[in-house]
Structure 1
Amino acid sequence: MPKAPARDPGALDAPAEPVDDPAALLDRAARRAAGHPDGAAFLARLRRHLPRLRTELARLYGQRSDFAAFLDDLLARAWASWLERAPALKALDARREATPDWFAAPDVVGGVCYADRHAGDLAGIAAAIPHFRELGLRYLHLMPPWRCPEPHNDGGYAVSSYRALQPALGTIEDLRRLAQALREAGISLVLDFVFNHTSDEHDWARAAAAGDPVHAAYYHIHPDRREPDRYERTLREIFPDEHPGAFSQLPDGRWVWTTFHRYQWDLNYANPAVFAAMAGEMLFIANLGVEVLRMDAVAFIWKQLGTACENLPEAHTLLRAYNALARIAAPALVFKSEAIVHPDEVVKYIDPAECALSYNPLQMALLWNTLATREVNLLQQALEERQALPPGTAWVNYVRSHDDIGWTFADEDAARLGIHGGDHRQFLNRFYVARFPGSFARGVPFQDNPATGDCRISGTCASLCGLEQGDPLAVERILLLHGVMLATGGIPLLYLGDEIGMPNDAGYRDEPGRADDSRWAHRPRRDPVRHAQRLDPSTVPGRLYGALRALIATRAATPAFGGNRLVGFRSHNPHVLGFTRPGADGRGDVLVLANFSEQPQSVAAEVFSALPPDATDLVSGRTERLRQGLQLAGYRLAWLQLPGPSG
C-alpha cells in the first residue's frame, strides 16, 4: 500500500512493527494513550468498535500483505484526531452516546441552503441564527462550502480541498466558529462528505495528472480504452449530454473514471490508501464541529467489472467501516445517506451501523405526483409499505432539495395500481414544465429531451405550486406539501426560501458556468423584501411564514410526531391521504388527513367508527365531530389529536 504523501496533513508514519491481531492493536493503542486524561474514553470506544472496524476493512483489504500496517496507521490517525478534538465536542460525544436517537425528537426540524445565496457568507449565516431559531430549526445543512473549481463545480460537489473553503465564504476558522455558535443555539451543523470523487483541481488529481504513480492509484486511470470499454458495457450514463459513458480523456491520452462530470474524478477505493486519506478528511471535518455528514453519491463508491457499479455490497462495507471509525474518534457524528435509487436499494443504506439517517426521495417524488394527479394512491401505498425503518434510524423528509426532482417510484408499485411507470413519468414531466393543459406549475426542465419526453424537474416550491403565475391556490398547495412532510416522521427539511415563497430565478442564465444547469433556477438568492415581509400576515410571504412557523411549533409540542412510527389510515376518498401517528407521553394518536384536491372532499362517518367521537384539529384549533363525518376544504390539512387513554 502506498503511504499517504507528505502534503496530506492527516498522514502518520506506519508503526515499525505493524500488527493485525486485535489484542495487540489494543495493547499498542493503550501504550499511545497511557497517561492522557482522555485516553480512557478513547480506549473504551476502541474496544467496543475495533472488532467491527477490522471485520469490515478485512472484507476489502484483508488479503493484502500490508493490511496490518494499514490498520495500525488508521488507528494512529484516529488517536491523533481524538487528541485534536475540542473539549466541547467530546462532551457532545458523551451526550449523543447517551441519546443516540436525539434526531427523533419532534422539535428537530431542519433547514438547508447555500450560504452565499442565503446570507452572503458564513458571517451572514451566523447573523441569521436568531432567524433560524425564530423559524424553529434545530438542524442546518449548508451546501458544500469547500474549495472548488470556478465556474464549473456542480454546485460545490467538485471538491478541491476539505481543508479550505471557497474564499468568498470565509475561512476554516470561520466555519469552526459558526459550528460552535450554531451548537450553542441548539442547532446541529450538517455538511457534505463528497467521498465518491474529487475535483480535477484537488492536489491528488493534479499529482496524478502530472504522472505521479502514487496519486494515479487514487483514481481509476487507464492508459487506453480497453478497460473503460469493458466497464461501460454494463454502466448507465448519468450525464450523457455532458460526456458519453463513464470515462473522460485526459490531455495526455489517458482515461479517468468520471461518473458525473468531466471535472469530478472517481476515487479508487480498491486502494486502501484512498480509504485512509479520506478517513483523515472525514475526521478533520468532524472536529470542526459538524454533527451530521451527508454521505454523497453512496451508491457509486465501489466499482466492479461486469456490474452496473451501483449499490454493490462493498459500498455498504465502506460505509460501515467509516461509521465504525467515527464511533471511535468522533462518536457524535451521524451519517445521512444520499441514494437517489430504487426504493428497495435506498433502505439498504439505513442502519445505525451504516447511515442512521437517509433522504426519503420516494416521499418527495410522490408528494409532487399526488399534487399533480389529485390521487393519493401511490403516496398512500408508499407510506403504508415503505415508510417503516429500523430502530435508531430516521428519514429526512423534504419537499424539494438543491437538486432536481426525479420520479423515483418503483414501477412494480405503480403497476399494482394500474399505472404504467414510463408513461406516468412523462405525464409528470409535462405537467411540471407547463406542457400539460391546465397545469399550475412553472418548472424548468433539467436534461430535457423533448423528442422522448425524458427530463427531470427544476423549480422552487412556489413556482411548482403556481405562485409564480399568480394562482390563488398556490399558498394552500405549498402549506399542504409542507404539512404532510412535517407529519410523516423523521426529520423534516425545508429548503430555505420556500418558507417565504421564493420563485424561480431566471438570472442563473447570465451567471458564469451556470447557464446550462437549470437547477440554479431553484437556488435563488434570498430576497430581502420578501424576508422583511415574513412577519406581515397581509402579504404572501407573511401568510406562508406564519403558517409554517405555527405548524413547526405545533409539531415540536406534539409527542406523537417524534420518531418514525406511522400507521396507514384509509379515508376511502381517492383524493384524501390518511395516516396515524401513534400517541406518546399519555396523549392519544394524531390522525393526519390531507385533501390533495382543490375541491372540497368528504370522509364518511363510518370511516371513523373505530375512533373516539371527537378530535381536536391541531392546525385549526377546531373540534371535529367525527361521528358526523368530516368535510375537508380544498387542499385542507388536518392534524386530528385524538383523546389519550385517560381522555
Structure 2
Amino acid sequence: MEHYFTAKSRARLIRSCREQAQAFFKGRPKAERDAFLARFDDFAPRLTDLLHGLYRDQFDFGLHLAALTDVLCESWKSRSRKLRETDEARLANPNWFCGPEMAGAVCYVDLFAGDLKGIEARISYLQELGITYLHLMPLFKSPEKENDGGYAVSSYREVNPALGTVKQLEKLAAKLAENGISLVLDFINNHTSGEHEWAQRAKKGEAAYQEFYYLFDDRQIPDAFEPHLREIFPEVRRGNYSWHEPPGKWVWTTFHNYQWDLNYRNPAVFVAMVREMLFLANLGVDFLRLDAVPFTWKVQGTVCENLPQAHDIIRALNACARIAAPGLLFKSEAIVHPDDVIAYVAPDKCQVSYNPTVMALLWESLATREVRLLRESLKYRFNLPAGTAWINYVRSHDDIGWSFADEDAATLGINGFDHRNFLNQFYCGDFPGTFSKGVKFQYNPSNQDMRVCGTTASLAGLERGLEMKDDAWSADAVSRILLMYGLCMSIGGIPLLYLGDEIGTLNDYSYAEHPAKKGDSRWVHRPRMDWELLKEVREDKGPRGRLFTGLKKMLRIRREVPQFAENGLRQMQTHHGSVLAFEKSNSRGRVVVVANFSEHPVIAHLPNGSTLLPHTDLITGKAYAQIEHLELAPYQLLWLQQN
C-alpha cells in the first residue's frame, strides 16, 4: 500500500512539472514545444528519481524540481536554430563521436594563440594536423594572481578579458563547427573560486549563498571528516579546510584555499549549476569536461571520493542535457583507481573519458622496457560500454600520477609502492641510465606520494639528446613519442594531442621566475607554442622534422582505418617481454598493432593462423608475406593490415 501512494506522489510531481513546461511553451512554435516535451517525457521520470534519491531529506525538494523545469524550458527556448539542427543530427547518429575521423587536440588559449581571435586564425593549422576535436583549457574569468591555471572559476559566463569575450567565444564555436571541429570546454563543477559572485555573497553573510558551500563555525565537523580525506596539494598546504575572513568560517577547499567546494547536498546548487551548464551548451560547446568528478559528494566517515551520489549527480546532469541540449556530451576527468575511472563512463553519465591508466602505463613500459603491466591492465580495465569512448593521451596540462591498479601489479609480483618510487626517480632524472628530464610535483612526506611533470619531448629524452648533440639519442626519443602517440591512435577511442608535442616542445623552466607560477611545477610543461620553431621544423630533416611529419602521417592514416576507433581489442602473444601486440577488427577486416618498447632490435613471435597470411604495414607501406615471426627495430610500431 505504501508503494502505491509513493507511486501516486511521484506521478503527481512529474505531471505538475510537465504541465509547467506546457504552460511555458504556450504560444511558442509547435515544433519547439513538441520536441522539448517528447524528450521531457523520456527523461523527466529518471531525472526525478535521481534527484529524489539525492534530496529526499530536503523538505523543499519539489520547489527545486519546479525551478529546474523552468531552467530547462528557458534553455531550450534560447537554443539557436543551428544548434537544434545539430541536436537532431546527433540524435539520429548517437555514435557520431566514435568514428576514426575523431582526432583531438588540447591547448591553453593564451599559450597557443594569444587569444580567441588567435585560435580562429589557427584553424587552418588544426586542419593541417587533422584535428576534429579541440579542447581549450579553462578560459573563464578567474582570480588574477592564484587561479590553478584557470580552474578557480569566478564566473561561468565571462571569459577572461585577456582572452576575449563571450561573444567571441560563441563566434569561435560556430567557426570551428563550420570547419568540422568540435569544441570542448571545462565545466568546473566541483568548486568555484572565492571571488565568484556566490562566494562573495556568502562572505557578506547571505544565508542562501552560504549554503552553496561547506562553511563551518568551528573545527568540530571538519575534524570528523579530515582523517579520511586525501591531500591533493600537500606542498601547498595540509588538510582540506581553510579559514576565510570574511565570512569568519572554515571553508571546505579540497584543492587550493581559493577554490571553494560546492555543496551539492543543497538542491539549489544543482539547479544553479545546470543553469550554468546549459548556458555554455548554448554557446555551441560540444563537449564539457567535468572536472574532479569524484569529489562532488561528501559523507562523514568516507574518503569523500567516488561515492554513489557523485555518479547520480552526473546522471542527473546528463538527463538535463538530454532534455534541453541533446547534442551536448560529457568528458570525465577522474584520476583515481582504474575501476573507478571506468565507472564514470556510460551513455547516461560521461560518454567519453580520459584514459589515465593507459597513459601512465605507456610511460611505465618505456621505463621498464616491459609491457606486462600494460597487458594486464588492458586485459581487465579497458573495455567500455557501447556508445562511449576513451580519450587516449600521452600528456596533458596536469602531472603524471602512476594510476595503475596495485592488484594488477601484485599479480605480476610487483610491489606497487616501490614501483611508483622507481618511476618517479626514473622520470625525474634521478635513476641511473634514465633518458628523462622531468620535475617533481607535490611530494607528500606523510605517505611519500609524488607525481611527475614535464613535456612529452623532455620526458621521452629529446631534451637530453639535443643538449648532448647526440643524433642517435634524439632519434630514440622521437621514436618513443611516435610509438606512444601511435598506440593512442590505434588502441580504440579518440587520440588527444597536446599541442606543441608535434614539434618536440621542451620543458620551460622560466615558470620558476614567475611569482604566481613558481610554486606549481606543472607550468614546466605548459610553454608557449613556438611558431618560429614550427617554421624550422617544417624544413627540418632531423629529429623534430621526423616527429612532425610522422604524427601528421599517422593521423592521416587513422582516418581511413575504422577498426582503430572500435572500443574492443584482442591481445596477442608475442613471446617477448618488450613487445605489445593486439588485434583490432570489425566487419570490414582486421588490423594487427605491434609495438616494441625496447631500444634494441627484437624478434616477436605471433603464432596464430591468420599471421601466416600476407599483411601490409599501413605506416611504411612495407609488405610482409607473413607476420608470425617479426623483426622489429628499436621502438618500432607496426599497423599491419591483412591483405
TM-score normalised to structure 2 length:
0.95
Distance (Å, rounded) in 1 between the aligned partners of 2:109 and 2:204: 34
Q: Could you tell me which of 486, 490, 500 is aligned with 1:487?
A: 490
**Which of 328, 342, 348 matches 1:347?**
342
Deviates more, 1:336-345 or 1:467-476: 467-476
Q: Of the candidates 504, 508, 513, which is equivalent to residue 505 of structure 1?
A: 508
> Does residue 25 in structure 1 map to residue 17 in structure 2?
yes
Deviation of 1:610 after TM superposition, in Å, equals 4.0
Q: Note the alpha carbon deviations across 1:323-377, whole angstroms, 9 max, x for none.
A: 0000000001001110100011111111100111111110000000001000000
Q: 1:116 to 1:86 in 2, by over 3 A?
A: same
Structure 2 distance, partners of 1:419, 1:316, is 32
Code of the aligned partner of 2:623: T
1:78-108 CA deviation, whole Å, 9 max, x = no partner? 1111111111111110011111111110010
Q: Does 1:98 align with 2:92?
A: yes
Gaps of 5+ in 2: 1-9, 466-472
Preserved CA contact (<8 Å) 1:234 1:306: yes
Equivalence map 1:174-573=2 (5 Å): 174-252=168-246, 253-448=248-443, 454-470=449-465, 471-472=473-474, 473-573=476-576
Shift of 1:475: 0.8
Residue 618 (structure 1) aligns with: 618
Partner of 1:12: none
Q: Distance in 2 between matches of 1:25 and 1:79?
A: 11
User: How much does 1:536 deviate?
Assistant: 2.2
For residue 603 of structure 2, what is the amino acid of its counterpart?
S
- Contact preservation (8 Å) 1:432, 1:464: yes
2:147 is the counterpart of 1:144: no
Tell me the CA shift for residue 250 of structure 1: 1.2
Aligned to 1:281, the other structure's residue is in SS state: helix
Alpha-carbon separation, structure 1, partners of 2:244 and 2:45: 42
Which amino acid is 2:136 matched to? L
Residue 488 of structure 2 aligns with an amino acid whose one-letter code is M
Give how far 1:34 is off.
2.8
Q: 1:59 and 2:28 equivalent?
A: no
Rounded to whole Å, the distance in 2 between the matches of 1:117 and 1:589 is 40
Rounded Cα–Cα distance in structure 1 between residues aligned with 2:14 and 2:444: 56
Residue in structure 1 matched with residue 607 of structure 2 by the alignment = 607
1:209, distance to aligned residue in structure 2 (A):
1.4
Residue identity opposite 1:510 in structure 2? E
Give the match's secondary structure for 1:589: strand
2:260 is paired with a residue whose SS is: strand
* Secondary structure of the corresponding residue to residue 233 of structure 1: helix
Q: Which deviations, in whole Å up to 9, do the C-alpha atoms of 1:196-232 show, x marking residues without a partner? A: 0000000111111122111111000000111110111
SS across alignment from 1:616: strand
Is the 1:247–1:256 Cα contact (8 Å) retained in structure 2?
yes
Identical positions, percent: 52
Residue number in structure 2 paired with 1:160 = 154
SS in 2 for 1:582: strand
* 2:106–2:497 CA contact under 8 A, matched in 1: yes
SS of residue matched to 2:462: coil
Unaligned runs of 5+ in 1: 1-17
Q: Deviation string for 1:537-581 (max 9, x for gaps)?
A: 414332111111110111100121122121111211100011111
Which amino acid is the alignment partner of residue 69 of structure 1? Answer: L
Task: Confirm or deny: 8 A CA contact 2:228 2:302 kept in the other structure.
Answer: yes
The residue type paired with residue 598 of structure 2 is: S
Work out whether residues 389 and 564 of structure 1, in 8 Å CA contact, stay in contact via their aligned partners in 2. Answer: yes
Q: Given residue 582 of structure 1, which amino acid in structure 2 is its aligned partner?
A: S
| 1:534/1:546 contact within 8 Å kept | no
Distance in 1, matches of 2:162 and 2:515, equals 16
Structure 2 residue aligned with 1:636: 636
* Cα deviation digits, residues 294-341 of structure 1 (max 9, x gap): 000000000111111110000011100000000000001001110100
TM-aligned CA distance change 1:311 to 1:20, over 3 Å: farther
| 3-state DSSP of counterpart to 1:164 | coil
Confirm or deny: 8 A CA contact 1:609 1:627 kept in the other structure. Answer: no
Shift of 1:628: 6.3
User: Which of the numbers 565, 575, 599 marks the counterpart of 2:578?
Assistant: 575
C-alpha deviation, 1:236, in angstroms: 1.8
Distance 1:640 1:73 in 2: 56
Deviates more, 1:189-198 or 1:528-537: 528-537
Q: Could you tell me which amino acid in structure 2 is paired with residue 290 of structure 1?
A: V
Secondary structure at 1:21's aligned position in 2?
A: helix
Task: State whether structure 2 residue 50 is matched by structure 1 residue 49.
Answer: no
Q: What SS is found at the alignment partner of 1:494?
A: strand
In the TM superposition, residue 479 of structure 1 has moved relative to its aligned partner by: 0.5
CA offset digits 1:421-472 (Å, max 9, x no partner) = 0000000000001100110000111113699864210000000011111133
Do the aligned residues in 2 keep the contact of 1:113 with 1:141 (CA within 8 Å)? yes
TM-score, normalised via structure 1 length: 0.94
Residue of structure 2 equivalent to 1:36: 28
Residue in 2 that maps onto 1:8 = none
- The equivalent residue for 1:6 is none
SS in 1 for 2:586: coil
Distance 1:627 1:556 in 2: 24
Structure 2 CA distance for aligned equivalents of residues 274 and 451 of structure 1 = 34
Query: Partners in 1 of 2:459 and 2:514 — Cα distance?
Result: 23
Structure 2 SS opposite 1:641: strand
Spell out structure 1 runs of 4+ moving beyond 4 A.
449-453
Contact kept? 1:398, 1:492, Cα under 8 Å: yes
Counterpart code for 2:572: F
2:346 and 2:38 map into 1 onto residues whose CA distance is 22
CA RMSD of aligned residues (A): 1.5
Shift of 1:627: 5.8
Q: 1:612 to 1:91 in 2, by over 3 A?
A: farther
Contact 1:100 1:392 (8 Å CA) reproduced: yes
Residues 385 and 226 (structure 1 numbering): CA distance in 2 closer, same or farther, change over 3 Å?
same
Secondary structure at the aligned position of 2:382 is classed as coil
**CA, structure 1 residues 580+432, in 2 after alignment: closer, same or farther (shift >3 Å)?**
same
Whole-angstrom distance in 2 between the partners of 1:324 and 1:30: 19
Give the corresponding residue for 1:14. none
Decide which of 69, 85, 103 is 1:75's aligned counterpart.
69
Paired residue secondary structure (1:519): helix
Would you say the 8 A contact 1:533–1:541 is kept in 2? no
Deviates most, 239-248 or 74-83: 239-248
The amino acid that maps onto 1:616 is: T
Instruction: Find the residue that maps to 1:36 and give its secondary structure.
Output: coil
Checking the alignment, whether the CA contact within 8 Å between 1:612 and 1:642 is kept in structure 2 is: no
1:20 Cα deviation after fit: 5.2
Aligned to 2:595: 594
Matched residue of 1:335: which SS?
Answer: strand
